[in-house]
Amino acid sequence: MLVGDGELQEGSNWEAMMAASHYELDRLTVIVDRNRLQQGATVRETNDLEPLDQKATAFGFAVVEVNGHDHDELFDVLSSVPFRPGKPTFVIAHTHKGHPISFMSNNAAWHHKVPSVEQLELALDELTAVDGQGGPA
């Protein structure tokens, strides 16, 4: 299951996590896109989740943190599930919203903004440059 960190401010997610732990659903993996932004503000300004790793542990999950932009690291983590028998897995994937586009990266405005034609062309040029260097696109 993939969730955004802003989405974790909803109580239904924590209720589902308690049930998953209670029923020892060790084949369940929650991946959190931990970009620290949501529409209009940072997650911290709206309802701080820290310490997220400790909260997930307290809810009975085996927790691992990864670079969410590193596909190999994500693959390795997901290939290792379950981390602990009898415990669901909680992957905190640290990311930057809009990565790797220079004017979009880590900018809350791009949570809901539509690029102009010029911005789209610039973004595609930047993605092509990153992909040509062997990096994640």
pLDDT given for residue 135 in this prediction: 54
Over residues 23-47, the pLDDT tens digits come to 999 999 999 999 998 877 889 999 9
- How many other CB atoms are there within 10 angstroms of residue 21's CB atom? 20
Specify the 3-state DSSP secondary structure of 126: helix
Q: Identify the sign of the CA torsion 98, 103, 108, 113.
A: negative
- 49 neighbors 55 (Cβ within 8 angstroms): yes
The yes-or-no verdict on residue 49 having pLDDT over 80 is: yes
| 81-134 confidence digits (pLDDT tens) | 998 999 999 999 999 999 999 999 988 888 788 999 999 999 999 999 987 665
Long-range contacts (CB closer than 8 Å, 24 or more residues apart) made by 35-38: 35/4, 35/5, 35/68, 35/94, 35/95, 35/96, 35/97, 35/106, 36/5, 37/6, 37/97, 37/106, 37/107, 37/108, 37/111, 38/4, 38/5, 38/6, 38/108, 38/111
The structure tokens listed for 56 are: 């997930």
